[in-house]
């Protein structure tokens, strides 16, 4: 029976994870609404010193309209041109950050010049029902690669922590196209 939704019972269980995640991926994850995110304070000087910024190795072109985008890989020349431009921008912004810090501007203000590709530490607690939705949408081949990589990692954690529920999910509730999710059977 689909009414009430059998998934509602899973809203009472939850999973908590510590994630080191680029901000653009975090923003997509937050869109899954249910759950709690606790951002752990960032040491911006250390972030700059250790160069903890996300620049992809492979880039894709976005085609289509909002809600129905498709992504195609760039050719190697386009890919390298985009990568060089993003690295150049990141390095220029880090130089500006260092200059502001040299003027004793507080790190929390100097970081305003950062490109939004830096990593954040967050503690994420999500109801299992929300994780079902997250894994269905974000492990699918149509999801943006960066969020799909994190969703695949979340799926691995989820199936390790809740193997019986993961099997039920993959058989009855999963609507994505990931073979690793659709074919899951606990050991």
Catalytic residue IDs: 138
Reported for 79-88, long-range contacts at CB under 8 A and 24+ positions apart, including other chains, are 83/55, 83/56, 83/57, 83/59, 86/55, 86/115, 86/117, 87/55
Helix H or strand E segment including 82: helix 76-102
Q: What are phi and psi of 22, to 5 degrees?
A: -65, 145
DSSP per residue, 104-162: T--HHHHGGGS-TTBEEEEEEEEEHHHHHHHHHHHSSTTS-HHHHHHHHHHHHHHHHH-
């Amino acid at each position: 029976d689909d009414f009430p939704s059998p998934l509602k019972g899973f809203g009472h269980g939850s999973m908590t994870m510590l994630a080191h995640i680029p901000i653009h991926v975090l923003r997509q994850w937050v869109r899954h609404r249910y759950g709690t995110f606790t951002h752990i304070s960032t040491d911006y000087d250390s972030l700059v010193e250790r160069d903890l910024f996300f620049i992809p190795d492979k880039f894709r072109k976005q085609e289509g309209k909002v809600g129905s985008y498709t992504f195609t890989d760039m050719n190697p020349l386009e890919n390298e041109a985009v990568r060089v431009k993003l690295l150049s921008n990141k390095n220029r912004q880090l130089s500006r950050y260092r200059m502001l810090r040299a003027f004793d501007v507080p790190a929390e203000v100097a970081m305003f010049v950062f490109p939004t590709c830096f990593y954040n530490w967050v503690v994420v607690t999500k109801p299992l029902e929300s994780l079902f939705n997250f894994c269905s949408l974000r492990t699918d081949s149509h999801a943006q690669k960066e969020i799909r990589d994190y969703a695949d990692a979340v799926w691995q954690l989820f199936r390790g922590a809740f193997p019986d529920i993961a099997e039920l999910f993959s058989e009855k509730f999963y609507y994505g196209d990931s073979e690793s999710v659709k074919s899951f059977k606990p050991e």
